[in-house]
Amino acid sequence: MVPTSKWNMDYAPTECRLLRTFGEGKEQILLQIARYDVLDRLEMALAGPHIPATDEKQAVSVSTSTVAEVPGMRAQGFAGMRNTPATLRFSPDVDLPKALRGDVAAGKPTMLGINFVRRYAIRLDLGAMANALAALDKCSDNLIASWGLDPVQQRQLKSGPEPVESPVSWFRPDDYPAGLSQMGMGGAVIIRLLVGTDGNVQKCEVAKAGGDKAFQDATCEAATKRARFRPAIAADGQPVASVWIKRIDWKPGGAFFVFR
């Protein structure tokens, strides 16, 4: 499919988003490429017709002009509602940006291929990605600076913050928002913890969330109270403040799950 709009850079409060449409009318596809981490990790999503819904994340084949298959890609399909199209949401990935930047380094426009379950297949002509990725990098640097961190220093870290104990241990049954467990309600929260040079959590913010706001409040409250880290290490070997970003799934009657 050929593009029917230019790249649009969306400076969202908690993430940077590249947006572009392909095709027209009922067949139109919206592509979003987002970044909300200090790492060069991208989260991709499609919205449009014919996308199959799945109960959970599935392996998905993604290719670019210079990479036959980006390793380890996974995505989940969601059915459309009355006023919203079906969506295909990909897990955040560090190999996707490598593939896109590989196309740029080779001087080739990007042809993005996606093959999902039930023979869903699409090819999107993204064109030359140099300027779009440069805009995304600039937005990301501004976002990192808004957290009180030096973007250059963060890109050169020897290591990021590491939890002293498994994040699962931060959450306990009585942390579940009152009433929501009995109602069978769950939620997903991606949190961003600002970790100081002493390994303590200085601040918790919600990067993205789905479900009742009570899950956002409960996630930050538990993480701020119980999380302890080995601090990030800068290029010079010294401890430095940085961020730890993860997704927490709240599921009634089950364990908490932590994803990258």
CA distance 60 to 64: 13
CA angle 116, 118, 124 (to 5 degrees): 40
Nearest to 53 by CA among 20, 81, 91, 25: 81
Contacts of 55 (CB under 8 A, 6+ apart): none
pLDDT, averaged per 10 consecutive residues of the chain (260 residues), comes to 97 94 96 95 96 96 98 96 92 96 98 97 98 97 96 96 94 85 81 97 92 91 96 97 94 71
Ranges of each domain in the chain:
8-146, 151-259
Residue 180 sits at φ, ψ, to 5 deg, of -75, -35
Residue 52 sits at φ, ψ, to 5 deg, of -75, 140
Model pTM above 0.75: yes
pLDDT at 4 (0 to 100): 98
CA distance 17 to 34: 4
What sign does the CA torsion over 167, 172, 177, 181 have? Answer: positive
pLDDT at 158 (0 to 100): 96
pLDDT at 259 (0 to 100): 63
Q: Which CATH architecture has domain 151-259?
A: 2-Layer Sandwich (3.30)
pLDDT at 180 (0 to 100): 80
pLDDT at 174 (0 to 100): 87
pLDDT at 212 (0 to 100): 85
Confirm if 161 and 232 have CB atoms less than 8 A apart. yes
Contacts 24+ apart (CB under 8 A), 14-19: 14/143, 14/192, 14/205, 14/206, 14/207, 14/208, 15/143, 15/207, 15/208, 16/136, 16/139, 16/140, 16/143, 18/132, 18/135, 18/136
Q: How many CB atoms lie within 10 A of CB 255?
A: 10
CA distance 114 to 124: 8
Q: Where are the beta strands (DSSP E) in 60-211?
A: 61-63, 74-78, 86-90, 110-115, 121-127, 162-163, 187-195, 201-210
